[in-house]
Amino acid sequence: MTDFYRLVYTILAPFIRFFFPRRVVGLENLPEGGAILCPNHASFWDPFVVAMALPVDSRLTVMAKDELFHYPVVGWFLRKVGAFPVKRGGSDLAAMKTALRALGDGSRLLIFPEGTRVEEQGEAEAKGGAAVLSTRTKTPMIPVWCGPKHKLFRRTTVVFGAPYTPQVAGRRATSEESRQASEEILHRIYALSEVDGWK
């Protein structure tokens, strides 16, 4: 974890918690080593809400859409806080290698399985990237519910679910096994929406 990330976390955390009050449930589900965090994606603020729900020393790495890195200042900032680009709509070998390296180093890799923002379950199918990484490295996927579209001062419960590591027959997952694992993690994410941490 870089000093720059710690600085940004320290500055942003109070603002995020003030404007988007949230209660965190299930941090005990996070393993000590590498993990693939898989949240739902309803809002631009989701990466910040999830990051600020984690301890500052979580070694978080974020896979973000390539278009964001085309803006010089934004791209510089994202790289400094540990994000890396992925080109959507196809196989991005460079992004996969970066993700594999991060998991190998014991980082927690944040990937939005739906690949884009959606307001309701079923608007987008889960992409296969998280499942492929999980089956290839035997790293657990952690379903994360971070609430619906965030509104100022609306209370949200961020829920980290139980680890899920897909089982495959061979050394690598088949396309069907990856599809099934992708559907399963998406199901587990939205099942967490029923948890009410404000009771």
Contacts 24+ apart (CB under 8 A), 168-174: 168/135, 172/135, 172/136, 173/131, 173/132, 173/135, 173/136
Q: What is the pTM of this model?
A: 0.93
Beta strands in the chain (DSSP E): 22-25, 35-39, 60-65, 83-86, 108-110, 141-145, 156-160
pLDDT for 36 equals 97
Closest CA to 87 of 62, 104, 110, 63: 63
β-bridge partners, 39: 144
pLDDT for 199 equals 54
pLDDT per residue, tens digit, the chain (199 aa), is 678 999 999 999 999 999 999 899 999 999 988 999 999 999 999 999 999 999 999 999 999 999 999 998 999 999 999 999 998 777 789 999 999 999 999 999 999 999 888 887 877 888 889 999 999 999 999 999 998 888 889 888 999 999 999 988 877 888 888 889 999 999 999 999 988 665 5
Cα atoms in the Cβ-side hemisphere of radius 13 Å centred on 166: 32
What tokens does 110 get?
């944040």
Closest CA to 53 of 134, 123, 150: 150
With a CB cutoff of 8 Å and minimum separation 6, the contacts of 98 are 84
